[in-house]
Amino acid sequence: MTFSHYDLHTHTTASDGVLSPAALFASALEHGIEILAITDHDTIDGYSQLLSLQQSGEISDQIKLISGAELTCVLERQVLHIVALNIQMDNPGLIEHLSMLEALRLDRAERIAEKLVKKKLPNILSLVHEKAAGAQIGRPHFAKVLCDLKLVSSEAEAFKKYLGAGKVANVSVQWPTLEQVLEVIKQSGGVSVLAHPTKYKLTMSKLRRIIAEFKLLGGDAIEISYPGVNVQQQNILKFEIDKHQLSVSAGSDFHTPENKWTTLGRYPKVADDLPHVLTKCLADQVTLKRI
């Protein structure tokens, strides 16, 4: 594990992160980050707040901000996360897509709350809305409220007991398809990155099929470096990247400073000879010292 000067996968209070966009920015400065993408789940609000602060001179211009979001979608019933980078925020298709995701998440939140009530837990929907405070609402907000109420002893337990795969409150959602998401990203001028490929708990043959489909549908890059990925997994990913002529990306998937083993810019080093998605993001910008 090394520290990098760029981080292309981070979360703020605009989704399920713990730091506000401004606090995340301050922490990124402390960690020597020079290029930062805020990639909140299904929203660009965190990035847009930071951009305004930077344009008005309220925060430093030492960090180059890249627009981003981690978009939820499905391929053959498998939920996937696609990190969109360098998207145009004012693109009508993107705006419509994000408001559709917001509606899906609000509807899901109601159904999760109902499922928990059926399990004889109190109705926590209004507390969850308070917790989210206008953020794109997600299962972690439920986990946090269940913790606050001492109904579980940790967020991990909340997922294990109620919210995780196959559990009672993991209600099904008609997420957009991978094809739709890749189209939206393309239309808004962005590049698409398959996030944390080894975290979906797929067999290697299923993962290979998903990567092939991702490429076929116009996907651009694959995250090759993130906390938890091991050398053997990276070698398999490198093989697929080479086979399908994809680019690589990397990021910490930072959510909270409480998690001691993830920090901004902290993930295994990315080899210099791999085609990097950053070169696409920065193609029309001043050349940076190194990527």
State which of positions 203-262 bind Mn ion (CB under 5 A): 253
- Does residue 156 interact with ligand AMP by CB under 6 A? yes
Q: In this chain, which stretch among 57-65, 154-162, 179-187, 261-269 interacts with ligand AMP, using CB under 6 A?
A: 154-162
Residue among 274, 205, 225, 286 at smallest CA distance from 246: 274
**Paired sense of beta strands 266-267 and 2-3, if any:** antiparallel
The one among 21, 46, 140, 251 contacting ligand AMP by CB under 6 A: 140
The one among 31, 64, 81, 215 contacting Mn ion by CB under 5 A: 81
Residue whose beta carbon is closest to ligand AMP: 138
- Does residue 196 interact with ligand AMP by CB under 6 A? no
Structure-derived torsion over alpha carbons of residues 53, 58, 62, 63, reported in degrees to the nearest 10: -20
- Does residue 106 interact with ligand AMP by CB under 6 A? no
Q: In this chain, which stretch among 156-164, 175-183, 209-217, 236-244 interacts with ligand AMP, using CB under 6 A?
A: 156-164
- Does residue 255 interact with ligand AMP by CB under 6 A? yes
Per the CB < 8 A criterion, the answer to whether 68 and 11 are in contact is no
- Does residue 197 interact with ligand AMP by CB under 6 A? no
3 state SS for 65-100: EECEEEEEEEECCEEEEEEEECCCCCCHHHHHHHHH
Residue 156 near which of ligand AMP, Mn ion, none (CB within 5-8 Å, type-dependent): ligand AMP
Cα distances (Å, whole numbers) of residue 261 to 226, 253, 264: 11, 11, 10
In the three-class reduction of DSSP (H, G, I as helix; E, B as strand; rest coil), residue 120 is classed as coil
Rank residues 81 and 186 by Cβ distance to Mn ion and give the closer one.
81
CA 167 to CA 154: how far, in whole Å? 16
First to last CA, the chain: 17
State which of positions 42-71 bind ligand AMP (CB under 6 A): none
Residue 220 near which of Mn ion, ligand AMP, none (CB within 5-8 Å, type-dependent): none
Q: In this chain, which stretch among 2-10, 118-126, 137-145, 185-193 interacts with ligand AMP, using CB under 6 A?
A: 137-145
Radius of gyration of the chain (CA): 19
For 147, other C-beta atoms within 10 Å of its C-beta total 16
What minimum distance in Å lies between the beta carbon of 16 and ligand AMP? 5
CA 239 to CA 212: how far, in whole Å? 12
Per the CB < 8 A criterion, the answer to whether 144 and 155 are in contact is yes
Rank residues 107 and 242 by Cβ distance to ligand AMP and give the closer one.
107
Per the CB < 8 A criterion, the answer to whether 66 and 277 are in contact is no
The one among 159, 162, 214, 267 contacting ligand AMP by CB under 6 A: 159
Q: In this chain, which stretch among 110-118, 189-197, 235-243, 280-288 interacts with Mn ion, using CB under 5 A?
A: 189-197
What minimum distance in Å lies between the beta carbon of 1 and ligand AMP? 20
**Paired sense of beta strands 64-66 and 35-37, if any:** parallel
Residues of this chain that bind Mn ion (CB under 5 A): 16, 70, 81, 195, 253
Residues of this chain that bind ligand AMP (CB under 6 A): 16, 41, 72, 138-140, 155-156, 159, 164, 255
